[in-house]
């Protein structure tokens, strides 16, 4: 009798959640925030995270993002490891850069999509925003391996670029600086946001998710995933200890142990279906295994296969529409352009 009553109450409660509005409230209460579809509202939000984005900077940044001459070798661009056609990542375990060198800590390239919403950049969270972040990989030896001076010399030697920097940074006397190169790239990256049907749901359309997706979201909240994977980017807003309990099965791959306090950036889960392999060291190829692992190590929860499947069904709703990007035609080098150097 008692058992039946409890069951009935649970079903009613679940029913009201799946009806929609209560689940929207629960998601909001868990800190999840919608990316607006409306362009104007979207740009307003983007500018809260990346100051000073302008169309001129973003347009220049589109070229620089695909610009291999910003690498020492002339062969690697931002898009090499953060491929806009591959969910904004590279699909390999550890990034490979200059001279085919793998990331020395065996770190996996995170997606560039929606990265503007991250208040922690890099796996150890050492950078607070994109404008700062972009300077890292350009200089890193196993990535693009260029010096700020060489980057400035390459770009300065190309008149079309100089003219475009003047337009994008009208207040600067000598606008072609490494700082502005990074700022333009960050401005382009900032507009790479991908609202999905989850955002329609969160913004109030209770029918935007189907029953299975709602069940997945409910589990995602109830199990505690939203403790860390929350905010606009369903992650990206904090660092956490990893693993919090137990032992990470692939801890032997690479030597990354987090920041000085052992804290690791919480990555976004947007477009997660498109950015395998997973974890900081790209050791897990299946999203199901990644969910299972995170449940065990961070929540102390032994998720059943059915629960994992439901959560993955929800995660699929975070696959957003990518902005249409015209592949940029880059201005030609001149006699003054420092030569590429693959060594």
Contact, 173 vs 294, CB < 8 A?
no
Q: Give me the least distance between CB of 162 and a second copy, in Å please.
A: 18
Nearer to a second copy, 73 or 227 (CB): 73
Whether omega before 5 lies within 30 degrees of 0, making that bond cis, reads: no
Judged by DSSP in three states, 62 sits in helix
**Binding region for a second copy (CB under 8 A):** 63, 66, 68-69, 73-75, 80, 83-87, 90-92, 96, 99-100, 102, 273-274, 276, 285-286, 322, 324-330, 332-333, 335, 339-340, 342
Contact, 70 vs 77, CB < 8 A?
yes
Nearer to a second copy, 93 or 127 (CB): 93
- Rounded to 10 degrees, the C-alpha dihedral 221/222/226/232 comes to 10
Nearer to a second copy, 62 or 229 (CB): 62
Q: Give me the least distance between CB of 194 and a second copy, in Å please.
A: 11
Q: Give me the least distance between CB of 286 and a second copy, in Å please.
A: 6
Per the annotation, the verdict on 153 as an active-site residue is no
Nearer to a second copy, 54 or 101 (CB): 101
Nearer to a second copy, 108 or 120 (CB): 108
- List residues bridging with 265 in a β-sheet: 239
Q: Which of 59, 67, 143, 152 is catalytic?
A: 143
Question: For residues 235 and 226, what is the distance between their CA atoms, to the nearest angstrom?
Answer: 8
Question: For residues 59 and 164, what is the distance between their CA atoms, to the nearest angstrom?
Answer: 9
Q: Give me the least distance between CB of 211 and a second copy, in Å please.
A: 24
Contact, 277 vs 285, CB < 8 A?
yes
132 φ, ψ to 5°?
-80, -40
Q: Give me the least distance between CB of 80 and a second copy, in Å please.
A: 7
Question: For residues 70 and 113, what is the distance between their CA atoms, to the nearest angstrom?
Answer: 21
Question: For residues 60 and 232, what is the distance between their CA atoms, to the nearest angstrom?
Answer: 26
Active site residues: 143
């Amino acid at each position: 009798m008692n058992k039946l009553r409890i069951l009935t109450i649970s079903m009613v409660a679940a029913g009201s959640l799946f009806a929609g509005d209560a689940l929207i409230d629960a998601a909001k209460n868990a800190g999840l925030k919608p990316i607006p579809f409306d362009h104007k509202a979207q740009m307003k939000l983007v500018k809260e995270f990346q100051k000073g984005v302008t169309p001129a900077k973003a347009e220049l940044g589109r070229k620089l993002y695909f610009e291999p001459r910003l690498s020492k070798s002339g062969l690697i661009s931002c898009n090499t490891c953060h491929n806009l056609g591959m969910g904004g990542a590279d699909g390999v375990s550890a990034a490979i850069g200059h001279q085919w060198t793998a990331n020395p800590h065996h770190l996996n390239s995170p997606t560039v999509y929606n990265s503007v919403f991250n208040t922690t950049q890099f796996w150890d969270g050492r950078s607070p925003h994109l404008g700062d972040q972009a300077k890292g990989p350009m200089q890193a030896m196993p990535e693009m391996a260029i010096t700020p001076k060489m980057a400035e010399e390459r770009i300065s030697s190309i008149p079309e670029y100089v003219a475009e920097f003047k337009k994008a940074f009208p207040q600067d006397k000598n606008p072609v600086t490494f700082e502005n190169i990074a700022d333009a790239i960050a401005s382009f990256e900032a507009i790479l946001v991908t609202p999905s049907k989850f955002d329609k749901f969160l913004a109030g359309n209770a029918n935007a998710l189907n029953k299975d997706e709602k069940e997945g979201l409910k589990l995602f909240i109830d199990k505690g995933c939203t403790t860390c994977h929350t905010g606009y980017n369903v992650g990206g807003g904090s660092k956490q200890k990893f693993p919090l309990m137990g032992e990470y099965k692939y801890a032997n791959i690479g030597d990354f142990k987090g920041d000085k306090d052992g804290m690791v950036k919480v990555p976004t889960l947007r477009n997660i279906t498109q950015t395998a392999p997973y974890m900081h060291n790209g050791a897990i190829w299946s999203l199901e295994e990644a969910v299972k692992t995170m449940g065990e190590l961070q929540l102390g929860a032994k998720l059943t296969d059915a629960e994992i499947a439901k959560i993955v069904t929800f995660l699929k709703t975070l696959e957003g529409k990518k902005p249409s990007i015209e592949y940029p035609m880059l201005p030609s080098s001149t006699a003054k352009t420092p030569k590429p150097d693959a060594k």
